[in-house]
Structure 1
Amino acid sequence: MWTIAKLSFKEILYKRIFLIALIMTLAYLLLYGIATHYAGASSLKTLYEIDPAQKAAMSVQFKIVGSQLLSMGLYFANFIIGLLTILATVGSIAGNIESHQIDPILTRPIRRLDFLLGRFLGYGILLMVYTLFFFLSIILVNHLFGGPLQADLSTINIFKASLVFACVPFIVISPALFFSSIVSTINSGIILIVLYGMSFIGGFVEQLGNILHNIALINIGIVSSLLFPADNLFRYMNTLLAGSSATPFDPASLFYGSGSPSALMLVYCAVYVLLILLLGVRTFARRDI
């Protein structure tokens, strides 16, 4: 299993898609840093120009805006991580079968269970490290260049949120391995991208339903989160990051803000990943290659 994990680690590391993703990640961080710098500089100029009696109230408003700016950066980072994970893992089994690269591997004394779990661990560990790097980089950019818009975050909240955010790739890898074991690379990619998009739209609809007190919209969001809980996991992370300053139903947080998910969502995500992974193991074990 660990041999396959190492091979998977090297495989994704040598793929051009991962190199391109790293370059585009740095480009995204640069763009986000420039935007944060100018937004912070403009806010600082405003603080110098307004009446001293209004500075305290304005500082509080800037903290709220800074928190939303940070959430926006993390939202698109989460989207990039999800797409990278899909592109990197969607052909992990189907692609090897189609190219017959899996034949010499399975002729050796390696169980299919070990092969699939090795893929899961190899991809998961590398993408988890990449996710943590992305998360901490955005936090660092916000603190270095945010100025008055610097989000008010505690170390313990950053630590808790980083652990949750690091789990995001596993929500995608497990279904990717399952679908890759039953359909072709292109078909499994289409299915995952649609599910991923449904997850984010469902999160938006659920937030809108909470604001409007519309049960139907809330139920639609809940169903989408059960089918693919990527967005709910992100919103729970954002709630942990914001801590007591979270504003669950702020209209500005419809897409990327904190929301209503509870700690039970972590339990559901863990069970979801394990069940889908077990389905993938069972399906792959029965597949005729």
Structure 2
Amino acid sequence: MWPIIKITYREMISKRIFTITVLMSLAFLLLFGVATWFAAREIRETMGAVSGDAMMMKGFFSTQLLGMGLYFGSIIAALLAILSSVGSIASEIESHQIDTWLARAMPRRQYMLGKFLGLASMLILYTAMLYLGLIAINQWVGGGEMAVQLRATQVMTGLGYFLLLPVILVCVSLLMSSMTTTVTGGIFLIILYGISFIGGFVEQLGSLIHQESLVQIGIVSSLIFPTDSLFRLSMLSLFEAVDNPLSFASQGIFGTSSPPSAAMLYYTLGYGLVALLIAIRIFQRRDV
């Protein structure tokens, strides 16, 4: 299994999509840092007084900006997870590169698990660096004006949920890769992620305006593809101690005014596990 993991590392690093994503992520972090610096300077110049209203506005802008950065960071991580793993099995079957490994009498289960561990570990490392990079920029560049007051436990708990997103996507991507072609699987997964993406917005909007029908639509979309709920859990954990009733990051579009339940977390974990087990089952029976 370890040789498969090492080769998966090499293949992922050599892919142009990975290099482009890393470079664009650095550009994204730079842009986020510049925006945070200018926002902190503007707040310092216009809201210098330490009054109750000024403190509430500072808290609002700081949590909103960090929540927005983390939200788009989760989108980047999700797209990288989909594009880098959806062809991991299908492309090798199409090019017959997989024949070399299967000719060694390696169990197909080990081959699939090696692919999963290689992809998941690499994406976990990338996602953790992106998440911690955004937090570090907020804390160091934001200064006293834009830095959100966070405890280490909040950061690590939020990170744990944040890292589950690419892992679940890799599980489902491997399922699609074992069933269909790279292009078909990629399109299908991006559409599913879009459903979860839009459903999350609809659910938060419905909760804010007290429209139960919109909340139910969001819940159904989460059951279809439960990735957005992981981001909401991450933000809920990260901003749990932010004393700011106006914070949209803990209660709005970039956070959660309709918190996912513990049952949803277990459902999401089960969703990924079942997808991986079905992928192994299909790959074992597939004629390559």
Taking structure 2 as the reference length, the TM-score comes to: 0.94
- Which residue number corresponds to residue 270 of structure 1? 269
**2-side partners of 1:246 and 1:68: how far apart?**
14
Matched, 1:22 2:22: yes
Contact 2:204 2:256 in 1 (8 A): no
Other-structure match for 2:104 = 108
Which of 240, 243, 260 is 2:240 aligned to? 243
User: How far apart, CA to CA, are the structure 1 residues paired with 2:168 and 2:213?
Assistant: 26
Aligned residues with identical type, % of pairs: 43
Matched, 1:216 2:209: no
Matched, 1:165 2:162: yes
The counterpart of 2:141, out of the listed 134, 145, 155, is 145
Q: Which residue is equivalent to 1:72?
A: 68
Which consecutive unaligned segments of at least 5 residues does structure 2 have?
none
* 1:255 partner letter: I
The answer to whether the Cα contact below 8 Å between 1:248 and 1:258 also exists between their aligned partners in 2 is no
One-letter amino acid matched to 2:267: Y
1:258 aligns to 2:234 (yes or no)? no
1:156 maps onto 2:153 in alignment: yes
- Report how far residue 27 of structure 1 moved: 0.4
Q: d(CA) in 2 for partners of 1:165 and 1:12?
A: 21
Would you say the 8 A contact 1:246–1:258 is kept in 2? no
| Residues 206 and 78 of structure 1, relative CA distance in 2, 3 Å threshold | same
Deviations 1:209-254 (A, max 9, x none): 2123222211211111111111110011000000133889976764
Is the Cα contact below 8 Å between 1:63 and 1:152 reproduced in 2? no
Deviation at 1:37, TM superposition (A): 0.4
Distance 1:246 1:123 in 2: 38
Q: Specify whether residues 202 and 58 from structure 1 end up closer, same or farther in structure 2 by C-alpha distance, changes over 3 A only.
A: same
Report matched runs for 1:190-205 at 5 Å: 190-205=187-202
Quick one: distance in 1 between partners of 2:112 and 2:58? Answer: 48
The alignment status of 1:117 with 2:116, answered yes or no, reads: no
State the secondary structure of the residue aligned to 2:260: coil
Deviation string 1:48-101 (CA, Å, 9 cap, x unpaired) is 3xxx4x634302220121011100000000000001111101100111011111
Q: Secondary structure at the match of 2:106?
A: coil
CA distance in 2, matches of 1:248, 1:224: 28
Separation (CA, whole Å) in 2 of partners of 1:204 and 1:261: 13
Question: Which structure 2 residues correspond to residues 171-190 of structure 1 after superposition, within 5 A?
Answer: 171-190=168-187
**RMSD between superposed Cα atoms in Å:** 1.8
Q: What is the deviation of 1:167?
A: 1.3
2:130 maps to 1:134:
yes
Q: Which amino acid aligns with 1:19?
A: T
| Structure 1 unaligned residues grouped into runs of 5+ | none
- The answer as to whether partners of 2:199 and 2:221 remain within 8 angstroms in 1 is yes
Q: Which moved more, 1:79-88 or 1:205-214?
A: 205-214
Across the two proteins, how many residue pairs are aligned to each other? Answer: 285
Runs of 4+ that moved beyond 3 A: 246-255
- How big is the shift at 1:177? 0.4
**Distance in 1 of aligned mates of 2:114 and 2:233:** 29
8 Å Cα contact 1:238/1:257 also seen in 2? yes
Q: In the alignment, which residue of structure 2 is the partner of 1:4?
A: 4
